[in-house]
Chain A
Amino acid sequence: MRLSFSVPDALWLRAREAYPIFGDSRLVQVAMECLIADSRPAYLEGPPPESADRLRGLQARLSREARSAFEMGYDAGLELAEVLDWRTLDRLAAAHWRLDDVLSSPGSGSLADRLGALLAERTDEASACFVAELERGRRCWRDADLRRAATFAGGLVLALRQCFEAGDVVLTGDEAEGVAIR
């Protein structure tokens, strides 16, 4: 991995004096390795043994909630596939179904509008969280983060993708006729 960073001259010179034998990259790598080693706690991390049952119970409940959020997203995706135009679907496919890439690109207003209208009536927490991110994105896309509603968004995109991939797209003889999906 390549990174760029800045370091005050005085700090860099002090580090260089202390470790003159390393090249620049190696010096930074050694510094990072030492930082990690020095930060490692002396105590044991992870669940105390008596927590196993509580963890299992929480896992079961939250898995159910996650599945429910995913299914709500999937259902929303099926509804969206009913009304979305071909051009937007094609853009999503071209963006490898990265919803945030498409929503953050210029001219994505119609997709955000469709999604907003579709989900406006829903009162569940998963839909509300997704709509809240859409609203943030309308003001300034940098403030939105679809990872906050990743499970719902994952279901929504899967439904769109399955609808898209279920039909082979063929151009009819006269391209002016448009595009048919069979």
Chain B
Amino acid sequence: MTLHPGSGPSHIVQGALRNLVERSRPRFGRELDDLRQQVVGMRHSRVVQMAQHAYDQGYDRGLGLCDSLSWIALERMAAAHWSAAAMAADGAGIEPRLATSAYQSGLRDALRDVWLSALDSGRQQPA
């Protein structure tokens, strides 16, 4: 997974420090009783299932796109670290209604995995 692709060091460090400060805030929460823990577990499971579905949908869409993409187009996207702009420029844009982070990750991972697998097979061939 790529965190904050294309961001400079200052941007990433500032984001990390904000996240750290946020973690340290007091929450004044009570210990969860068994019932609440169970409910939280069920809700979490539902959210994970939805995210997994969106990721798999994105991955499937990515493989579908690869059917019509050339090696040269994939190489251009790789050079741009699979940025959304580079992918859109080569026809691998994401419909706004599907643009959740899990869907985007799935689509990007499919394109990257296909690119890497072709690259690996080239490394295994004799020079």
Contacts and interface: CB of A to CB of B under 8 A. Distances in A.
Contact of B114 (A40, A62, A125): A62
Given A47-B59, A48-B60, A7 B121 contact: no
B114 A5 contact: no
Task: Determine chain A's interface SS by DSSP, over half rule.
Answer: helix
A47 B63 CA distance: 10
A145 B83 CA distance: 15
A15 interface: yes
B24 A18 contact: yes
Interface residues of B, number: 51
A125 to B, nearest CB: 5
Contacts of B117: 55, 58-59
B39 interface: no
Contacts of A42: 44, 47-48, 51
A15 B74 contact: no
B38 interface: no
For the complex of A and B, 7 pairs with smallest distance between CB atoms? A31-B16, A65-B71, A147-B79, A18-B24, A62-B118, A43-B52, A5-B10
Contacts of B125: 67
A163 to B, nearest CB: 15
B35 interface: no
A11 B21 contact: yes
A3 interface: yes
Interface residues on A, range: 35 or more
Given A43-B52, A51-B59, A58-B67, A35 B15 contact: yes
Given A36-B3, A45-B55, A62-B71, 7 more contacts: A5-B12, A8-B14, A19-B24, A38-B19, A62-B118, A66-B119, A151-B75
Task: Determine chain B's interface SS by DSSP, over half rule.
Answer: helix
Interface string A26-44: 0110111011101111111
Contact of B122 (A11, A31, A43, A66): A66
A54 to B, nearest CB: 5
Interface in A1-25: 3-8, 11-12, 14-15, 18-19
A180 B10 CA distance: 53
A41 B24 contact: no
Contacts of A69: 71-72
Interface string A52-76: 0011001100110111011000000
